[in-house]
């Protein structure tokens, strides 16, 4: 997915995805303006050209206790950017979590939410931000729905971050969901390689960016035991949660398939946790 050198503005550059994206873009020779939520008001005030804007801002693990901040990050900030920035393209990072109540995970699926359920606040606000982008008449305003992103220095609050953190601390992991539970996982390297191409050349307004196949908790537990000797058990009262398989045909047809395998990358996540925040594929490129 090679792209010509260009100007990028990365909003949320201090976060997990934002940091990796800035590093990748700079390594490819692009001009990059890293923006945090704190420096965004100054950017909006200058009205300078921002090139291709990628909005990486979002709240994940703490959205339930910070509902107003969640709404501002997922909706208010998006509105301010669309209204106030001079850009060539604008790409909002959303999440495949919006498919939680859906039967299929295609970009055109009709999605359900329950506003009275606190767990749905994340999805409702993400969908509102998506709706703002997709209602914008400019064809270069786009949305990507990312599946569960993993990589070195991933947030401890994520499922996989919690699992690896508990294993390192205790030498064993107690899974709070059943062994048949399964999610789609995609590496940070695959993400940062695909986003610039989508931002600059995407022919659609909305893309799923995912591995396209689920990995079960049982498979993760078995791989961790094989690699580390940790014990792994499952709470007998835990429920089973299986994410719908994410449809990636739109992305694959336009840009080719993503290369990502959580089980293959687990040794790197375990052994190189103190290295700079780049993924196995990015390390291979650097070598």
Contact 89, 203 (CB under 8 A): no
In which band, very low, low, confident or very high, does the pLDDT at 223 lie, cut at 50, 70 and 90?
A: very high
Domains (range + CATH), the chain: 7-154+186-211+245-262+277-286 (3.40.50.720)
Please give the helix or strand (H or E) that residue 167 lies within, else none: helix 159-170
Residue 98 has pLDDT above 90, yes or no: yes
At residue 60, the pLDDT reads 72
Which has more pLDDT, 273 or 251? Answer: 251
At residue 86, the pLDDT reads 95
At residue 85, the pLDDT reads 95
At residue 65, the pLDDT reads 73
pLDDT tens-digit map of 143-153: 999 999 999 98
Distance in angstroms (rounded) separating the CA atoms of residues 151 and 269:
7
- The mean per-residue pLDDT over the stretch 210-229 comes to 96
Angle CA(128)–CA(247)–CA(107) in degrees, nearest 5? 30
At residue 63, the pLDDT reads 74
Which has more pLDDT, 281 or 154? Answer: 154
- The mean per-residue pLDDT over the stretch 79-104 comes to 95
At residue 62, the pLDDT reads 73
At residue 61, the pLDDT reads 67
At residue 286, the pLDDT reads 37
Distance in angstroms (rounded) separating the CA atoms of residues 82 and 267:
41
Residue 282 has pLDDT above 70, yes or no: no
Distance in angstroms (rounded) separating the CA atoms of residues 140 and 135:
12
pLDDT tens-digit map of 196-205: 999 999 999 9
At residue 34, the pLDDT reads 97
**Average pLDDT along the chain:** 91
Which has more pLDDT, 281 or 161? Answer: 161
pLDDT tens-digit map of 29-70: 999 999 998 899 999 999 889 999 999 998 776 777 788 989
Please give the helix or strand (H or E) that residue 186 lies within, else none: strand 182-187
At residue 280, the pLDDT reads 39
Q: Which two tokens stand for residue 47?
A: 């009205």
């Amino acid at each position: 997915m090679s792209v010509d050198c260009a100007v990028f503005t990365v909003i949320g550059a201090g976060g997990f995805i934002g940091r990796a994206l800035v590093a990748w873009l700079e390594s490819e020779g692009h001009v990059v303006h890293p923006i945090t939520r704190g420096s965004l008001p100054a950017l909006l005030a200058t009205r300078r050209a921002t090139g291709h804007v990628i909005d990486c801002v979002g709240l994940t693990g703490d959205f339930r206790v910070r509902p107003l901040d969640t709404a501002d990050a997922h909706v208010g900030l998006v509105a301010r950017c669309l209204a106030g920035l001079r850009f060539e393209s604008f790409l909002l990072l959303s999440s495949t979590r919006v498919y939680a109540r859906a039967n299929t995970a295609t970009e055109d699926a009709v999605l359900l939410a329950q506003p009275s359920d606190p767990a749905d606040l994340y999805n409702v606000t993400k969908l509102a931000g998506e709706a703002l982008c997709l209602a914008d008449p400019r064809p270069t305003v786009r949305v990507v729905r990312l599946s569960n992103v993993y990589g070195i220095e991933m947030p401890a609050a994520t499922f996989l971050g919690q699992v690896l953190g508990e294993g390192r601390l205790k030498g064993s992991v107690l899974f709070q969901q059943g062994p048949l539970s399964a999610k789609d996982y995609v590496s940070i390297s695959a993400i940062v390689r695909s986003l610039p191409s989508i931002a600059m050349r995407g022919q659609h307004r909305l893309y799923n960016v995912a591995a396209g196949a689920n990995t079960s908790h049982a498979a993760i537990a078995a791989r961790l035991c094989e690699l580390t000797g940790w014990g792994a058990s499952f709470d007998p009262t835990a429920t089973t949660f299986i994410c719908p398989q994410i449809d990636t045909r739109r992305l694959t047809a336009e840009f080719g398939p993503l290369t990502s395998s959580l089980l293959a990358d687990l040794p790197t996540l375990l052994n190189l946790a103190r290295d700079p925040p780049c993924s196995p594929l990015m390390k291979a490129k650097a070598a």
